[in-house]
Structure 1
Amino acid sequence: MCDQEQLARWAKKSLNRRTFGAGAIAGAAAACAPMGMESGAAGSSVVGRKVSFRTAAGTMDAEFFHPETGTHPGVIFWPDIAGIREAKRQMARRLAASGYAVLLVNPYYRDVSGEQFVDFATFAANKGFETVKPWRGKLDAEAIQMDGRAAAGWLRSQNAVDKAARIGTQGYCMGGPFTIWTAAAAPDVGAACSFHGGGLVREGENSPHRMLDADDHYLIAIARNDDAEQPQAKTALRNAASAVGAAAEIEVYPADHGWCVPDSPAYDREAAERAWSRLLATYAEAL
C-alpha cells in the first residue's frame, strides 16, 4: 500500500518532477499514444470542464470529460491519495476518448477544492501524506456512499450521459475501496474497478469485500507487494464474490503498488496497459 514510510523512501531518493512527475507523464504519452488523445472513439473531440454539485456534506467539485457529441455510459473516477492532477486528467481523457462520460471527483472536497499537488513527486516530497491525513480520515464507508450516490445522480442529469446504460466506477490506491462502496450504495452503478486498492478486506461490516453484490461486475487488480503484505485478501475477495454469485475478476499483477498511474514511481507501462484493457472489457460487458 501507499503509506508514509514508502513516501519517505521516495522523497529520500530525491525523486522529483524530472524523475517521475512530468517526465513520467510525458514518457507515457509518447510510448502509448492514447494517453494524449483528444479525439473520441467516433472521431469527435473530447471536451472537459470543471463542475460542482451538492452532496449532504457540502459542494463536491469535480472535472467532467466526455466526447463532444452523443451520449455515453457514465463513470465515476476516484483518484488516488494525491487527488486530482494532470496524471488523473490524462487517464480520464483517455477513457472519455474510448466512449465514456467520466466524472473525475475530488474526494477531499469537505476540506479543499481542486488540485492540491501538481504531481505525485510533489506529494511525496512535500509531506503530502501528513497534509491529506485529516482529510482522508473523514472518508469512511458512510461518507463515500453518500458521495457516490450524489455523483451518480449528477451524472444521470447530464445530456452527455446515456441514461439507459449503467454507471461504472474506478479507483486507485485509497480510491479502490471507494468503488465497491459506491456500487453498494448507488443502484445505477453496475461495475466497480479497483486498481492497487488498499483496505479491500478489513475488520467490520463495512469492509468492501462484505459489500459485493450479484448484480454488479468487479475488476480487482492487486499489486504484488500489496499481496505480499496481505496474501489472504485475494482469497477473501474471491470467496465473497463466489458466495453472492457476483461476476468478479480478481488478479495479482506482477507490478508494485501504483503501477497504473503515469506519475507514480511504480508506473509499469506493460502492466498498466493490461489493466486498462481489462477495465474497458469490464465496462463493455457490465454497462
Structure 2
Amino acid sequence: MAGDLVKCDFDSPVATVSINRPEVLNAYNEELLDELYQTLEELFAAEKVAAVILTSKGNRAFSVGGDIDYLENLDSEQAKKLSQKGQSLCELIENSAPVVIAAIDGYALGGGMEITLACDLRLASTRSRFGQPEVKLGIIPAFGGTQRLPRLIGEAEAKELLYTGDIIDAALAYELGLINKVVTPRSLLAETRDLALEITDRSTKAVKLIKTAVNKKYADASKAGYEYESEAFAECFKTEEHRVRIREIKKIINEDN
C-alpha cells in the first residue's frame, strides 16, 4: 500500500496516513502525490476503514507545498498536469466514504495547506502555521485552494490570504474557521484519534450521507472553478517571472543557512 514517501498504520477502525519527507519539510513532488493518491484510494475502498487521519512525519511541517526546485523547472503543460493531479488527490479526499481528519503540526503551506482543506476536519498544534504563499512565487494555488478556502473562511478573508501570501498562526486560523481545534503538539495525534473514534461510533451510513449532502451543494458549482484554476496555474509558467521569484527565494534561504 504505502511506500517510502507515505507511511500507513491501521488500528481498526482508524487508519493513519503520514507524509514522509521530513528532510524537506514534507514538500511534495510527483512521486509523493502519486503514492499518497494510491494509498488513500486503497484505504477508502477498504470496508474496515471508517476514518482516516492524514498527518506527516517530523514536527516542523505538515507540508510546505511543492519542492521549489521541482516547481522552478516546470513548463506550462507540466504545470497544468501537476494542478490536475493535485486536484484529483483533493477530490478523492473530499469525496471519500470514510471521514478524513487532518492532524497538522508545523507549517501547512501552498499545496500542503490545500490538501488539508479537502479534509473533513482539521486539528492543529499550537506551533502550526498556515498560508498560500504562491503569489510570492508568481504563481497561484493549484490544488483547489481558490475554491475551497473561500468556502471555509469567507470570500473577503480568503482573498486577503490569497492576494498577500501571508502566513498566519494557529490561533488566527482557528478564529477564521480554517481549523476546528488547536491543541498541544504532544496531544495532537491522540486528540485527533479520539475525535475519529467519536465519529466512527456514530452511524457510519448516516455520517457518509451527511458528508455527501454537504459536498453536493458545492460539487457542480466548483467544477468550472477548478478547471479555470488549472488553466491559470499553467498560464503562470509561460513567462520567466515565477523562475525569477523562486531564485530570489532560494537565494534568501541559502543566505539564512
The TM-score with structure 2 as length reference comes to 0.34
Q: Which has the higher helix share?
A: 2
Higher relative contact order (CA 8 A, sep 6+): 2
